[in-house]
Amino acid sequence: MLPPLFATVPAPLRASFDPAAPWALLGEPLDRVLGDAQVIEDGAQIHPSAVIVGPVFIAAGAQVRPGAFIRGGTWIGAGAVVGANTEIKRGILFPRAQAPHLNYVGDSILGEGVNLGAGCILSNHRHDRATVVIDGVDTGRRKLGAILGDGVQTGCNTVLHPGVIVGRETMTYPGVQLRPGVYPERSVIKLRQELDIIPRRY
């Protein structure tokens, strides 16, 4: 059973949301909502150096900052941030979700108020090209990144491997690597490492 993820799903996607299979939103429901259009609402802030390839939807109040690359099949909610040199590929950013610094977000869903630390990577493709399996459930998707519940915060340089689901309001330490699987809500995921410090030789 998956942990609670979202208090509410954006209206265009709500009817298609299955709490037991949230990754399904990234398939036909997203295609249906986006159609073939490139829709950028009045009030969205788009930096001139950003590259946007449709179909996309970018809501009023969203920010797309310098050097961002938004690839087709992306829905970005009000107040969301796609930051400097961040790439989004087939993603859903709920309102106020932030991928603000040097992030890769592939085939992923970021809940409301999610914040990715600088350099955080949401990887979406297995090297063996098999479909992504989450806790024994075959999603049927060859490309699937992470699904992060409302308010999740990741430390800098966190790497989420294909098929990660994180419950709402959970935090990760910097440098954590999350393997495929389901992580609980309202938790702290720590990284423990030992440092070997030796005298420098000249």
Catalytic residues: 101
Spatial separation of the C-alpha atoms in residues 196 and 10, rounded to whole Å: 48
The one-letter amino acid code at 166 reads V
Q: In what order do the strands lie in the sheet with 104-106?
A: 51-52, 69-70, 87-89, 104-106, 121-122, 159-160, 177-178
